[in-house]
Structure 1
Amino acid sequence: MSSWDGIDEFTAVAEQASFSAAARRLGLSTSAVSREIARLEDRLQTRLLHRTTRRVELTDAGRDFLARCRRLIDERDEALAAVQPDDQAPRGLLRMTCSVSYGERFIAPAVNAFARQNPELRIELDLDNRLRDLVGDGYDLAVRFGHLTDSRLMARRLASRRLILCASPDYLARRGAPRDLSEIASHDGLIGSAEHWRFTEAGREVTLRPTGRWRCNSGAAVLDAALQGLGLCQLPDFYVAE
């Protein structure tokens, strides 16, 4: 129990001369206000208010206590205001992580604009395709694709993407285009950071594990390999939109 308990409620009732009006001012229920004042009087072993069905009046002790409470509340509010920034602008360090290519194309420009608008804020943006332990590694937030698996975290959807199966015209001329998912296994797969390729067939999700002699964890490098005719790849739509 805090020594402050009941003081705001008592002061509001004394100034409003009404429990219900004080409750509205404080955003509390009338019963909660009455309960806090009763506890305060019990701690002080002093009656502060005379209550009747029509009005609320201060006792002599209540009038003296009200004057002191007003000074305490004013000093408390001044102390709180003194340590709060005048403009409430973000300050301190913001650490975040994002995958490399998506971060370079979309997140970094947005973060840079945010940094320009908030000059008191320090920002560390870590572009890394590895899944990071946000809590253990000290990150404030991460931008990632997929579903949240860590129950300690909260997620908000920012955007969506489509995965595109693609190859160069030269490769398709030599090897032919796969007519269905079963034929993908016979093609040279250009494997990126994802171990499985995902498709939707007849309303259900299907995953395939590609095979091939080429692998790289950079989407840009996978795209270049595909353009040079080395095989099939699956990439997010923002890589191949052009």
Structure 2
Amino acid sequence: MSQWEGISEFVSAAELESFTSAANQLSTSVAQVSRRIARLEAHLGVKLFVRTTRRVALTEAGQVYYHHCKQLVSGLEAANSALTEMQSAVKGKIRLTAPVYFGENELAPLLTDFAEQHSDLQLDIVLTNRQLDIIEGGFDLAIRLGNLSDSNLIAKKLGTRQMHVCASPQYLAQYGQPHSLAELSYHQCLVGSQPYWRFSEKGAHRQIRVDGRFRCNSGHFLAMAAKRGIGIAQLPDVYVHQDLESGDLVELLLPFREKEEGIWALYPQKSFLPYKTKMLLDHLVEGLKGR
């Protein structure tokens, strides 16, 4: 038999001095309580109770055993309570990684709001454009942008972002505006971490290799260069939406614009998602909805 079998029934009967009261407390039958205590006594090779017609009383061995078992049951109850509290309160620590610019400009206000709402929560945030190993780095969440590679991680969509091909009015006045994907080869393209741009043509996904005299892995740098009239850039809306609204940048090749990409939260596969993490994910979804 299991070492734990009959312990709860024994402790309850010892405290209430009644198998019937113990059965009521544990929401089970008197027969089940009696059977499990009898099996426990047989397993231990001692009598734990003296039974009378009116009540049950602990034997000397039963009193010694109760003293120790009470601590075990109390510890188990405390452990269960701790898990229940964890699942109903946002407390503890969440370790998160995200791209630098997106983290600084989109996530920062959402994360600080969440931290202010939950004073018992500790946030450990690592902003980097490198895709860190979530398991090895001990992260609870990783925010990723765009298309995801296959992995054993769980992915939750937080929102979407749109890619824009754009240039300044002064660049277009000097070099003209491309109207087809082929015309990009005649223009100065501001190249990011990948040497190609993504488009949609007649419903099909296309990748066009681009080139130019400026190459940088910083979207902020490329957006600034585009505003200065140095070339054409393809960047997510987080970098350029204000400049497009103000007219400092002009969107190009709209008929070839690809569909919106996902903003994702990745987390390790677990049997259950901690309450604090679930609440943070819900907060990010709601916050990014209006971006």
How does the TM-score come out when normalised to structure 1? Answer: 0.70
Question: 2:112 maps to which residue?
Answer: 112
CA deviation string 1:78-137 (max 9, x = no partner): 543786779844124x32221122111110111111222233333232222122122223
Question: 1:127 maps to which residue?
Answer: 127
* Alpha-carbon separation, structure 1, partners of 2:200 and 2:38: 65
Distance 1:118 1:146, change over 3 A: same
CA deviation string 1:34-80 (max 9, x = no partner): xx99986985689xxxxxxxxxxxx959x669996995776345543
Deviates more, 1:71-80 or 1:109-118: 71-80
Confirm whether residue 231 of structure 1 aligns to residue 207 of structure 2. no
* Alpha-carbon separation, structure 1, partners of 2:147 and 2:22: 52
Question: 1:91 maps to which residue?
Answer: 92
* Alpha-carbon separation, structure 2, partners of 1:100 and 1:75: 47
Distance 1:195 1:90, change over 3 A: farther
Question: 2:3 maps to which residue?
Answer: 3
Listed as ranges, the gaps of 5+ residues in structure 2 are 14-18, 30-35, 243-291
Look up the SS of the partner of 2:101 in the other structure.
helix
Question: 1:55 maps to which residue?
Answer: none
Partner amino acid, structure 1, of 2:139: Y
Question: 1:177 maps to which residue?
Answer: 177
Give the CA deviation at 1:193: 2.8
In the TM superposition, what are the counterparts of 1:38-187 in structure 2 within 5 Å?
Answer: 43=43, 71=70, 75-77=74-76, 79-80=78-79, 88-92=89-93, 94-149=94-149, 151-187=151-187
CA deviation string 1:5-44 (max 9, x = no partner): 35558979965869xx649xxxxxxxxxxxx999869856
Deviates more, 1:112-121 or 1:224-233: 112-121
Distance 1:16 1:138, change over 3 A: closer
Distance 1:183 1:3, change over 3 A: same
Partner amino acid, structure 1, of 2:91: P
Does the CA-based 8 Å contact 1:9-1:22 persist in structure 2? no
Does the CA-based 8 Å contact 1:191-1:210 persist in structure 2? yes
Which structure would you say has the larger RCO, counting Cα contacts within 8 Å and 6 or more residues apart? 2
Look up the SS of the partner of 1:95 in the other structure.
strand
Question: Over aligned residues, Cα RMSD in angstroms?
Answer: 4.3
How does the TM-score come out when normalised to structure 2? Answer: 0.60
Distance 1:150 1:43, change over 3 A: farther
Give the CA deviation at 1:180: 1.4
Question: 1:31 maps to which residue?
Answer: none
Aligned residues: 223
Does the CA-based 8 Å contact 2:91-2:118 persist in structure 1? yes
* Alpha-carbon separation, structure 1, partners of 2:57 and 2:186: 91
CA deviation string 1:169-202 (max 9, x = no partner): 1212222222211221222110123332111122
* Alpha-carbon separation, structure 2, partners of 1:180 and 1:64: 92
Distance 1:108 1:38, change over 3 A: farther
